[in-house]
Amino acid sequence: MEDGDEYFFVALTDPDSGELVFSRTLDEHNAVVAEYEAQWQAVDAEKAAQVASYGDETAEGEE
């Protein structure tokens, strides 16, 4: 970022690398979010499955 640049919106685009995209307007930000929405839904589903699996393993160990 250069001195004097002003960014108002930020989106994490890659959960593995931590890549960020900065946008000056809400419309630009929303376009970035829409572009990566499917990827983030997949990440969320994977994390939910891991949590559910952990719960199953804990319950099995209690039997």
| CA 21 to each of CA 16, 27, 35, 39, 62: distance values in angstroms, whole numbers, following the listed order | 14, 13, 12, 15, 45
34 or 4, higher pLDDT = 34
Structural contact between residues 29 and 23, judged by C-beta atoms closer than 8 angstroms = yes
Between residues 27 and 56, the one the model is more confident about: 27
Express each pLDDT in 28-43 by its tens digit: 999 999 999 999 999 9
Share of the chain above pLDDT 70, in %: 76
Instruction: Give me the pLDDT at residue 16, please.
Output: 86
Can you give the pLDDT at residue 61? 55
